[in-house]
Amino acid sequence: MSTPAFSRIRWRTASPIVLVLLALLFSTVFSLASHLNASAASPANAASDGPGALSHFDLARKDCLGTARNTTSKVWFTIANGVLSDVYYPTIDNTNVETLQYIVTDGSTFTDLQTRDTTYTVQSLSKNSNALDCEVTTTAKSGKYRIVTDYLTDPGQNTLVMNVHFIALVGNPSAYQLYVRYDPSINGNGGGGSGNGGGDTGTNDNSSFRY
């Protein structure tokens, strides 16, 4: 099909104008980008107390998502890389945990960090229900021990429950020492004063612990 002469004339007339406009636009963008890069590199514009720590997000690939079966409890949690990754409270967008994981040692010959020195599997607590809870089985790469942790929320109150079983695969359980390493993110930030979301405070309450 032939193109009308009028359309061909309009396109040929408009093309140089469009190209000029595009050239001006790209020239402006590149000039602005160069100016911003030069400003950012200038020592005079550096933060007086910098450079500080880099911002980051927690691991996005989650192994498990959990909450209570009703609306009484406002707690949600996630598992990532085999460890407790987030505990959201009082709203679903406000995390108070970066990670909570185990440290295992015999006090002299080895010290294992859960995310570094173990492998893990994750499954639902009950294979016959749709409850949002999970069981994590952690096994030492050395083959010395295994830890089975059940994670679930209490439907009657704002509580995350961890039921922990330590199993010695080599030697006696009394030869091992099990610790919990808590990396907090209280109220969704790391605290540290007015420059980092404001200071935060927390209290450890051991009265409800069961060993």
The span from the CA of 70 to the CA of 6, in Å, is 70
84 falls within a domain: yes
Same domain flag for 97 and 127: yes
Residues in the chain: 211
Whether 207 shows a pLDDT value over 80: the answer reads no
Predicted local confidence at residue 179, as pLDDT: 96
55 falls within a domain: no
Q: What is the number of domains present in the chain? A: 2
Section 39-68 average pLDDT: 66
Predicted local confidence at residue 50, as pLDDT: 59
Same domain flag for 105 and 171: yes
210 falls within a domain: no
What residue type is assigned to position 211 of the chain? Answer: Y
Lowest mean pLDDT among 72-81, 107-116, 167-176, 177-186: 177-186
**Greatest Cα-to-Cα distance within the chain, rounded to the nearest angstrom:** 94
pLDDT band at residue 53 under the 50/70/90 scheme: low
97 falls within a domain: yes
Structure tokens at 103: 């440290």
Same domain flag for 122 and 160: yes
Higher model confidence: residue 195 or residue 156?
156
Whether 172 shows a pLDDT value over 60: the answer reads yes
Predicted local confidence at residue 199, as pLDDT: 55
The span from the CA of 165 to the CA of 148, in Å, is 5
Share of the chain above pLDDT 70, in %: 63
Determine the structural domain holding residue 120 and report its residue range.
64-188
58 falls within a domain: no
Q: Element (H or E) spanning 35, and its range? A: helix 5-41
50 falls within a domain: no
| Main-chain phi, psi angles of 79, to 5 degrees | -115, 135
Higher model confidence: residue 57 or residue 103?
103
8 Å CB contact between 175 and 165: no
Higher model confidence: residue 182 or residue 200?
182
Same domain flag for 143 and 177: yes
Higher model confidence: residue 94 or residue 38?
94
